[in-house]
C-alpha cells in the first residue's frame, strides 16, 4: 500500500464534515494489515458476506470469489491461508465495492472491531470505529429529517 494514500489520524480528526468513503476504505486496509490472522478472517467474512458471486469476481481480480467458492455455500468460513494471501490493497478494493452495495455492512465493522481487544488497541482501528459510528449517526439523523 502506498503510504501517501493513507489518511493520518490527525488529518481525519481535523477534517470538517463527513469522512470520504475512500478514506474509510484506506482505514480498513490499515486495520487489516495489522490484524492477526484470526481477525483478518473475521474482517473478510464480514465484508464478503453481503456480496454475490458476480460482484466478488469483479473485485481484486476475483480473489474473493475464489475464497467464497472454497468456503462452500451458504456458510462462509474464510480459511487462514486465504486470509494470509489477501493484501491490504485487495481489502481496500473490497470495501470500496461493499460501500456501494451496503454501507451498513461497512458500518457494521465498528461492532466487529469493538469486540476485539487486539484491534481496539490500534490507533487505526479506534479511528475507524469512531468514523463509522459518526457516519451511522449522521445517516440516521438525515433519515429522520426526511
Residue owning grid cell 487486539: 118
Please name the residue ranges forming H helices in 20-79.
21-34, 37-48, 53-58, 63-71
Residue 8 resides in a domain: no
Taking the alpha carbons of 34, 39, 40, 44 in that order, is the dihedral positive or negative? Answer: negative
Residue 15 resides in a domain: no
Residue 7 resides in a domain: no
Residue 133 resides in a domain: yes
DSSP state of 146: -
For the ranges 12-16, 50-54, 124-128, the lowest mean pLDDT is seen at: 12-16
What is the model's pLDDT at position 15?
54
Q: In whole angstroms, what is the distance from residue 39 CA to residue 144 CA?
A: 35
| pLDDT classification of 17: cutoffs 50, 70, 90 | low
pTM: 0.83
Residue 124 resides in a domain: yes
What is the model's pLDDT at position 16?
58
Q: What percent of the chain has pLDDT over 90?
A: 63
Dihedral angle, C-alpha 59, 67, 49, 138, nearest 10 °: -50
Whether 102 has a pLDDT exceeding 60, the answer reads: yes
Q: Is the peptide bond before 74 cis (omega within 30 degrees of 0)?
A: yes
What is the domain count for the chain? 1
- 23-82: per-residue pLDDT in tens? 999 999 999 999 999 999 999 999 999 998 899 999 999 999 999 998 777 788 999 999
Residue owning grid cell 502506498: 2
Which range of residues forms the domain containing residue 121?
Answer: 20-145
Residue 37 resides in a domain: yes
Cα 61 to the chain's mean position, in Å? Answer: 18
| pLDDT classification of 7: cutoffs 50, 70, 90 | low
On the 0-12 / 13-18 / 19+ scale of CB atoms within 10 A, 54 is: exposed
Q: In whole angstroms, what is the distance from residue 87 CA to residue 104 CA?
A: 23
Amino acid at each position: 500500500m502506498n503510504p501517501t494514500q493513507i489518511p493520518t489520524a490527525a488529518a481525519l480528526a481535523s477534517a470538517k464534515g463527513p469522512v470520504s468513503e475512500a478514506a474509510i476504505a484506506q482505514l480498513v486496509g490499515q486495520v487489516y494489515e495489522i490484524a492477526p490472522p484470526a481477525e483478518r478472517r473475521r474482517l473478510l467474512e464480514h465484508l464478503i458476506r453481503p456480496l454475490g458471486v458476480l460482484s466478488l469476481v469483479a473485485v481484486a481480480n476475483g480473489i474473493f470469489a475464489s475464497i467464497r467458492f472454497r468456503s462452500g455455500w451458504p456458510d462462509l468460513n474464510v480459511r487462514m491461508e486465504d486470509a494470509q494471501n489477501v493484501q491490504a490493497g485487495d481489502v481496500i478494493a473490497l470495501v470500496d465495492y461493499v460501500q456501494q452495495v451496503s454501507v451498513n455492512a461497512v458500518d457494521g465493522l465498528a461492532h466487529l472491531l469493538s469486540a476485539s481487544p487486539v484491534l481496539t488497541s490500534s490507533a487505526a482501528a479506534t479511528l475507524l470505529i469512531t468514523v463509522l459510528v459518526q457516519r451511522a449517526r449522521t445517516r440516521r439523523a438525515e433519515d429522520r429529517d426526511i
